[in-house]
Amino acid sequence: MTEIQRPGALYQQVAAAIREAILSGEFAPESLLPSEARLMARYEVSRPTVRNAIAALRAEGLVDVRHGKGSFVRSDGHPTLALDRRIQHAHGGKFVMPGGDVWDEAEEPSVHRTRTTKSTGRLLGLGEEEELFGCDRLLSDAATGTQAMHRTLIPFEVAESVPALAKDPGQQPTAVYAVLAKAGHKLWWSETVRARMPVPDERATLQVPDATPILHLSRITHGTDDRPLILEELRIGADRAEAAYRITADKQPTRRRQT
Amino acid sequence: MTEIQRPGALYQQVAAAIREAILSGEFAPESLLPSEARLMARYEVSRPTVRNAIAALRAEGLVDVRHGKGSFVRSDGHPTLALDRRIQHAHGGKFVMPGGDVWDEAEEPSVHRTRTTKSTGRLLGLGEEEELFGCDRLLSDAATGTQAMHRTLIPFEVAESVPALAKDPGQQPTAVYAVLAKAGHKLWWSETVRARMPVPDERATLQVPDATPILHLSRITHGTDDRPLILEELRIGADRAEAAYRITADKQPTRRRQT
DNA sequence: TATCATTTGTTCGTATGTATC
DNA sequence: CGATACATACGAACAAATGAT
């Protein structure tokens, strides 16, 4: 039996005790935690209290509970996929997405019409409710089986000025870049990285475990006059991937936004 | 009273119903959800079931519960701070961190000695248990009050070869870059972005709300021969900030790692 | 295949503590 | 101070997943 002391609610004391036991190495990574019944005995508390404590550890991402088996100590392995967010400029004037060749399309891309939201409108420099072509892809990494959701958004306005886009809004980013370059645009890109908890829908398709955020990357393709042309979004479980960037020193003025 | 149907556990049906009500606009952002007692009546379930449902919505980041007041619909505002991860190369051969001037140091930087972990060792191209200088800073944004944790890690090996570093391992990144450049290094940087749930410690100092991940940025300063010299880490609540990068097309070979 | 013990998941009931207004 | 609302805690029962017999 292990003594429990002051700070706060009982279940938090239990949670703290277990957390400490994990971090101190008493419970090794990947190992099975004592069952709820044993923890009840060990700390002399009721089942709801034990469950509450374990729920807290779950929310921290410290343990992983499997129905009928038990609670496992999660190993804090870092992500296995490094998403190299660069763009390769090949000789023939064509662009290649890094690693683009190893991502399979798990499903047929689905093209549809939609409108800007507050978020996407802001990124594209448009208002709300502007019309767009959208193309959704479910990508799958051949080696690890990791899945990612990719979306391409093309404003009607841009598609009209570049007929090859309006003709096939569902082509791959590589092809889109090439088409824009051919239309006379000098391209550059900017990307913002956000993190948030998945909605149930995303949790399911991306197979995200408990208490795991997703990385949400938004890439803007800018053309001549620095006008935003295309928005791409990539969503992927933060347990599987990390985004990698190369930073160069430049003399451009830096910007800072506050909303 | 609202009818509840099949799929899955009762509390999940209730959660789904509330989620739908929120997304459909019945419960506006920032508005107060019905109290637990009212939800019990509305869906004809017991209190534990209602609480379980609300707990699920909390974990999704959809609602924010305040003791004694009620459950509020969280507005899905995007982050207000854009962290421009660039480096400005000024004329005098000095480097300026973007926005560096507006971050205050909330506390005195604390310098200490430490050793590489599996994670930091990997990034620095060192083994485990190699000796380092560490310097921790608690940064605070003057305008928004947002806090961020910054850490600089300097391998002994590097400090020895650059005396100005060993003399003051606690100087600001700007100064560190300048010192390295002065020592003859041609610098470039790489940065990886990860997301994870905060440990209780980080939750407290960064003032992170429920169900909110933190962004964890790791910046490596590379010197001549592309050798990793310095590791910086920045941790910040994902509700307050997003990382922004500029991407340029280049002809370098792309890399892809799998562990 | 079928059954059983173990373990977590779900749901009810009930009581009391604590924060807010 | 009281009313309301969420937080914590205990007890009990049955359902469902898992692995071994």
Q: What's A165's domain CATH number?
A: 3.40.1410.10
At A255 the pLDDT is 47
Tell me, what DSSP letter sits at residue B94?
Answer: -
Name the nt closest to A37 by C-alpha to C1': C7
Of the candidates B84, B90, B254, the beta carbon closest to that of A255 is on B84
Q: In this structure, are B115 and B158 located in the same domain?
A: yes
Q: Distance, angstroms, CA A46 to C1' D3?
A: 31
Contacts of B79 in chain A (CB under 8 A): 194
Number of other CB atoms surrounding residue B235 within 10 Å: 21
Q: Distance, angstroms, CA B48 to C1' D7?
A: 12
At A77 the pLDDT is 82
Name the nt closest to A66 by C-alpha to C1': C8
What own/partner pairs with CB < 8 Å and gap ≥ 24 does A30-36 have?
Answer: A30/A72, A30/A73, A30/A75, A31/A72, A31/A73, A32/A69, A32/A70, A32/A71, A32/A72, A33/A63, A33/A70, A33/A71, A33/A72, A33/A73, A35/A70
Name the nt closest to B67 by C-alpha to C1': D6
In total, how many domains does chain A have?
2
Report if residue A102 sits inside a domain.
yes
Q: In this structure, are A60 and A142 located in the same domain?
A: no
Q: Which of A52, A73, A94 is the last residue of a domain?
A: A73
Angstrom distance (rounded) from CA B210 to CA B237? 11
What mean pLDDT is predicted for residues A29-38? 96
Q: In this structure, are A160 and A53 located in the same domain?
A: no
Name the nt closest to A47 by C-alpha to C1': D10
Report if residue A97 sits inside a domain.
yes
> Using one digit for the tens of pLDDT, what is the confidence trace for A162-175?
999 999 999 999 89
Which bases of strand C sit closer than 7 A to a protein CB? 6-15, 17-21
Name the nt closest to B47 by C-alpha to C1': C12
Alpha-carbon distances of A138 from A47, A64, A106, B110, rounded to whole Å: 41, 26, 5, 46
Report if residue B255 sits inside a domain.
no
* Pairing relationship of beta strands B249-250 and B87-89 according to DSSP bridges: unpaired
The verdict on a CB contact (< 8 Å) between B190 and A219 is: no
Strand D within 7 A of A66 CB? yes
pLDDT-derived band at A254 (thresholds 50, 70, 90) equals very low
Angstrom distance (rounded) from CA B198 to CA B241? 15
The answer to whether the CB of A97 falls within 8 A of the CB of A85 is no
Angstrom distance (rounded) from CA A148 to CA A87? 19
Contacts of A46 in chain B (CB under 8 A): none
How does the average pLDDT of chain A come out, rounded? 90
At B124 the pLDDT is 97
Q: In this structure, are B105 and B206 located in the same domain?
A: yes
Tell me the count of A-B CB pairs closer than 8 A: 193
Q: In this structure, are A201 and A233 located in the same domain?
A: yes
> Using one digit for the tens of pLDDT, what is the confidence trace for A56-103?
999 999 999 999 999 999 998 889 999 999 888 766 667 777 665 678
pLDDT-derived band at A6 (thresholds 50, 70, 90) equals low
Q: Distance, angstroms, CA A88 to C1' C1?
A: 59
What mean pLDDT is predicted for residues A136-146? 91
Angstrom distance (rounded) from CA A173 to CA A181? 12
pTM value is: 0.91
Angstrom distance (rounded) from CA B36 to CA B68? 12
Alpha-carbon distances of B81 from A192, B115, B199, rounded to whole Å: 11, 32, 22
Position B32: which residue type? L
Q: Distance, angstroms, CA A16 to C1' D20?
A: 34
Q: In this structure, are B68 and B87 located in the same domain?
A: no
Q: In this structure, are B60 and B118 located in the same domain?
A: no
The verdict on a CB contact (< 8 Å) between B197 and A61 is: yes
At B254 the pLDDT is 46
Q: Indicate which of B187, B193, B234 best probes the interface with A, i.e. most A CBs within 10 Å of its own CB.
A: B193
Report if residue B5 sits inside a domain.
no
Nearest-Cα distance to chain B for A135, in Å, is 22
Q: Which of A23, A39, A73 is the last residue of a domain?
A: A73
Report if residue B250 sits inside a domain.
no
> Which residues of A in 20-49 have their CB below 7 Å from strand D's atoms?
45-49
Q: Which of A27, A44, A73 is the last residue of a domain?
A: A73
Beta bridge partners of B16: none
Q: At what angle do helices B10-23 and B47-60 cross, to 10 degrees?
A: 50
CATH number of the domain encompassing residue A16 = 1.10.10.10
> Using one digit for the tens of pLDDT, what is the confidence trace for A105-126?
888 899 999 999 999 999 999 9
Report if residue B251 sits inside a domain.
no
Report if residue B196 sits inside a domain.
yes
Of A195, A46, A245, which Cα lies nearest the Cα of B196? A195
At A257 the pLDDT is 52
Q: In this structure, are B68 and B89 located in the same domain?
A: no
Q: In this structure, are A183 and A133 located in the same domain?
A: yes
Q: In this structure, are B172 and B123 located in the same domain?
A: yes
Q: In this structure, are B213 and B192 located in the same domain?
A: yes
The verdict on a CB contact (< 8 Å) between B255 and A82 is: yes
Strands (E), A130-238: 131-141, 147-155, 188-196, 214-222, 228-237
**Exposed/middle/buried for A201, CB within 10 Å: 0-12, 13-18, 19+?**
exposed
Q: In this structure, are B185 and B219 located in the same domain?
A: yes
Report if residue A174 sits inside a domain.
yes
Angstrom distance (rounded) from CA B229 to CA B244? 23
Q: Which residues neighbour strand C (beta carbon < 7 Å)?
A: A 33, 35-37, 47-48, 51, 54, 65-71; B 8-12, 45-49, 52, 66-69
Q: Distance, angstroms, CA B9 to C1' D15?
A: 11
Which structural domain range is residue A33 located in? 10-73
The verdict on a CB contact (< 8 Å) between A60 and B188 is: no
Q: Indicate which of B234, B248, B252, B258 best probes the interface with A, i.e. most A CBs within 10 Å of its own CB.
A: B248
Alpha-helical (H) ranges within B171-226 are: 173-182, 200-206
Sequential pLDDT tens for chain B (259 residues): 455 555 789 999 999 999 999 999 999 999 999 999 999 999 999 999 999 999 999 999 999 999 999 999 999 888 999 999 988 877 666 777 766 667 888 888 999 999 999 999 999 999 989 999 999 999 999 888 899 999 999 999 999 999 999 999 999 998 999 999 999 999 999 999 999 999 988 999 999 999 999 999 999 999 999 999 999 999 999 999 999 999 988 765 444 555 4
Q: How many CA atoms lie within 13 A of A94 on its CB side?
A: 7
Ramachandran region, residue B30 (left: φ > 0; alpha: ψ -120 to 50; beta: rest): left
Q: Distance, angstroms, CA A15 to C1' C7?
A: 19
The verdict on a CB contact (< 8 Å) between A247 and B196 is: no
